Amino acid sequence: MAICVAPFRSLSSPLLRSSAAAPPCTAKSVVFGCPSLRNLVKQQLTSRPMVSSSGGRMNCSAQVETEATASAPFLTDHAKLIDSVETFIFDCDGVIWKGDSLIEGVPETLDMLRSMGKRLVFVTNNSTKSRKQYGKKFESLGLSVSEEEIFASSFAAAAYLKSIKFPSDKKVYIIGEAGIQLELKQAGINYIGGPEDGDKRIDLAPGQLMEHDHDVGAVVVGFDRYLNYYKLQYATLCIRENPGCMFIATNCDAVTHLTDAQEWAGGGSMVGAIKGSTKKEPLVVGKPSTFMMDYLASE
């Protein structure tokens, strides 16, 4: 399989780049973009051709392999390559938009692919919004994208818990924002925490013991702009003291694109705090986990 790397604009230009190790336009499956998506598709690709386009940042570096692309030759027959695939997978942050700004060339490229009958899938590790909310963001940018075409890590967390038949008598504690709450609610999964715990504080006193809900069977950690010590301690207690409590991360991204002016600390910084306090590794459901590609392939 050929692993190809290109900026978003290259999909509609003759400057599509292929990896030096792969013969141009001969692969049934081609992957564009960041290593997390490329490696996922490489590992989990079904017989249906797919193409992934993503930004250039690394995700969960311990789980993916760096691929050198600086000396990759140019691929001149880009039309043949596009014709050979059925599904294009696009990252969102840094590819479709930066913050609330649409990236140049996106509408034209998406319109071109849709006119050719291609299937489009939009993937984001940003868990602050639900799929429905992301649909509204696409609409606000002038893009027509259906909810079924969107795969957010907030949805991935709910989909994973639903796939393992998370017990109805158990709860999920959330470090994260409204996107995770909305997706868990949609899936019929009980939860506590989230934005509601953003204003809670701990006033320490001698011999103080913090209580927690022993019915919490999973802690989901995503990007949280209102992270505080209360949330960290509560999640830590659940994971360390509740038998079988799962530690689930929406992603391990070191940085994210909240605005187009600079990079911001990503969900991986929140996940890292819980890793440090619990000495446990999370189950990651967003990029670069295999769960994401398994789910997309099944759909």
DSSP letter, residue 4: B
- Yes or no: say if 152 and 102 are a contact pair by the CB < 8 Å rule: no
Using CA atoms, how far apart are residues 44 and 63, in angstroms rounded to an integer?
A: 15
The answer to whether the bond into 288 is cis (omega within 30° of 0) is yes
**86 carries an active-site annotation:** yes
From 86, 108, 148, 281, the catalytic residue: 86
- Other C-beta atoms lying within 10 Å of the C-beta of residue 103: 18
Q: ∠ CA(194), CA(93), CA(57), 5° rounding?
A: 105
| Closest to 218 in 3D by CA, of 257, 259, 187 | 187
User: Facing residues of 284 across strands?
Assistant: 249
| Closest to 64 in 3D by CA, of 35, 43, 33 | 35
- What angle separates helix 35-44 from helix 290-298, to the nearest 10 degrees? 60
Using CA atoms, how far apart are residues 205 and 167, in angstroms rounded to an integer?
A: 36
Structure tokens at 97: 């938009």
Using CA atoms, how far apart are residues 183 and 166, in angstroms rounded to an integer?
A: 14
- Other C-beta atoms lying within 10 Å of the C-beta of residue 294: 15
Residues designated as active site: 86
